[in-house]
């Protein structure tokens, strides 16, 4: 990739990122309420995305050598930490660290 192609690629990515970040504020300003459908999607999408991530991360664990033991232990740990601290970032981060420890050192 030439220098000019790299610059064009970086500008395109930056423009696309800025567009997706700023467009909702332009389309739905604070002065007017968004449509009910958009509000509904805002409440439903986070759960759908987490469910999709869980399903995607568990899609291949049956055929592994450890038969899904690290995955199941990490899920139980994430659930316990989240019930204890009520902090999604902490529970997912701690579960990821535990899972990586299991995969790299134990199983």
Query: What pTM was estimated for this model as a whole?
Result: 0.60
Question: What pLDDT score was predicted for residue 57?
Answer: 81
Residue 10 lies in a domain: no
24-36 pLDDT tens trace: 899 989 888 999 9
- The boundaries of the domain holding residue 56 are 33-106
Q: Token pair of 77, please?
A: 């740990």
Residue 86 lies in a domain: yes
Tokens 């389309």 identify what position? 27
The alpha carbon dihedral of 54, 59, 100, 74 has a sign of positive
| Contact of 81 with 98, CB cutoff 8 Å | no
Residue 47 lies in a domain: yes
Among residues 69, 49, 44, which one has the least CA distance to residue 58? 69
Question: What pLDDT score was predicted for residue 6?
Answer: 97
- How many structural domains does the chain have? 1
Residue 84 lies in a domain: yes
Residue 88 lies in a domain: yes
Residue 28 lies in a domain: no
Q: What is the mean pLDDT of residues 1-22?
A: 96
33-90 pLDDT tens trace: 999 999 999 999 999 998 998 888 888 776 666 678 888 899 999 999 999 999 989 9
76 alpha carbon, distance to own chain's centre: 18
Burial of 71 (0-12, 13-18, 19+ CB in 10 A): buried
**Count of all residues that appear for the chain in the document:** 107
Residue 18 lies in a domain: no
Question: What pLDDT score was predicted for residue 62?
Answer: 66
Residue 55 lies in a domain: yes
pLDDT at residue 92 tops 70: yes
């Amino acid at each position: 990739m030439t220098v000019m192609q790299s610059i064009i690629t970086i500008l395109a990515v930056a423009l696309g990122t800025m567009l997706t970040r700023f467009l909702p504020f332009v389309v739905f300003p604070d002065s007017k309420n968004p449509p009910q459908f958009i509000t509904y999607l805002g409440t439903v999408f986070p759960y759908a995305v987490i469910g999709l991530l869980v399903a995607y991360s568990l899609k291949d664990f049956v055929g592994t050598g450890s038969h899904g033991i690290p995955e199941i232990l990490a899920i139980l740990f994430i659930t316990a930490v989240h019930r204890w601290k009520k902090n999604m970032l902490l529970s997912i981060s701690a579960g990821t660290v535990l899972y990586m420890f299991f995969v790299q050192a134990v199983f």
